[in-house]
Structure 1
């Protein structure tokens, strides 16, 4: 009789880490734009002791990396870095499992590679271990019955998790038949896109979107103008 081979230890350990991982709330707030987020340090603080407990460690390997030098409107240098990184998780018996993700980062100084690496690792860990943003509610059977998300809710979640302005604008464009019918969702999507702006190129993309947030009234227009002032001041400081 053929003996069934035992699964690699790393499979058991990855499942155990997922079971022990606690929610990481979006409790960091951007004071200027008012949006919340989960930082890489939040992920480290949550997972470090759990990885140690289960004797699992990871090793990053940069498979591809590209850097591009761009110029801002004020002619200051902007470094744009994209990395394709392989993260391999090891158990004590030498078994391993890997995931490949991409990260991108932009900076006017020397931090674009750091931002790219941190972004790749953060989203790899959040997605691999399916770390939620809030505690799951418990109660009676009816209260805990899962309810499918509506299309609008699915889109809102994708926009909330988008890593950059261009992805937000792409989501708005491809789902405008849904977003365009929901003023609250549309306004929230634009505010998210504005909050993620890092460069003048992002601002130009916003201005060329439909409709132009700078021509809208209320909090969207205010946020767009404030972000324009922020980017302009940052470029002036960089060239001072």
Structure 2
């Protein structure tokens, strides 16, 4: 059985990073004060090793979801989740191994998608090359956002608007199940949510 050289290249890159690692830099600000590794640090550490051992990392995003949240101060925050696949390709024989990861990020401007993609890349590299890390769970590209908890009445209002426009009964029931869980602890709003769903389903059956 012919050996795929991509695995040899991944192992060689991992061997270099196991000794030199990726240095953390400390960010100090009003919201965060901890050590983290930014995407630039990952690129700077990886680039020479990838070139040396003939390994390419070719990314593509296969999924993206977006929702808007409210910050503690009342501003808009855009919350993005991406699913990315990274083809690790040997330049010697063209053999490929694909790694898939997710990235999540929030931003008040237009950078949330870029941040999510960067985080997906970082963790693909951390896991594929077994890069020594600490506090990997505390990583938001040096940013932390405080999100205002969703108000039960607001959730109910949004669902009511959605239900009035939804013409697919199955989708309506799926959305209802999700909203019901979000309203946990608010029985009055849950009951109203159930009533809205029942009325809309009855309307859809009558329209058939």
Please say whether Structure 1 and Structure 2 have the same fold, judged by a TM-score greater than 0.5: yes
Does 1:20 pair with 2:16? yes
Indicate the structure whose relative CO is greater, using CA pairs within 8 Å and at least 6 residues apart: 2
C-alpha distance 102-73 of structure 1, shift in aligned 2 (>3 A): same
TM-score for the superposition, normalised by structure 2: 0.63
Q: Following superposition of structure 1 onto structure 2, how do residues 1-240 of structure 1 map, counting pairs within 5 Å?
A: 5-21=1-17, 22-26=20-24, 28-32=25-29, 33-92=32-91, 93-133=93-133, 160-163=135-138, 197-201=144-148
Looking at secondary structure, tell me which structure has more strand per residue: 2
Q: For structure 1, which runs of at least 5 residues remain unmatched after alignment? A: 134-156, 166-194, 203-240
Give distance in 2, aligned partners of 1:121 and 1:108. 22
Alpha-carbon contact 2:70-2:147 (below 8 Å) kept:
no
| Counterpart for residue 167 of structure 2 | none
- SS of 1:200 mapped into structure 2: coil
TM-score normalised by structure 1 residue count:
0.55
Structure 2: 5+ residue stretches without partners: 150-208
- Larger Rg: 1 or 2? 2
Distance 1:64-1:20 versus aligned 2 partners, 3 A rule: same
Separation in 2 of the partners of 1:164 and 1:14? 24
Partners of 2:72 and 2:146 within 8 A in 1:
no
In the alignment of these two chains, the number of paired residues is 144
Distance (Å, rounded) in 2 between the aligned partners of 1:72 and 1:17: 41
- Superposed CA RMSD: 2.3
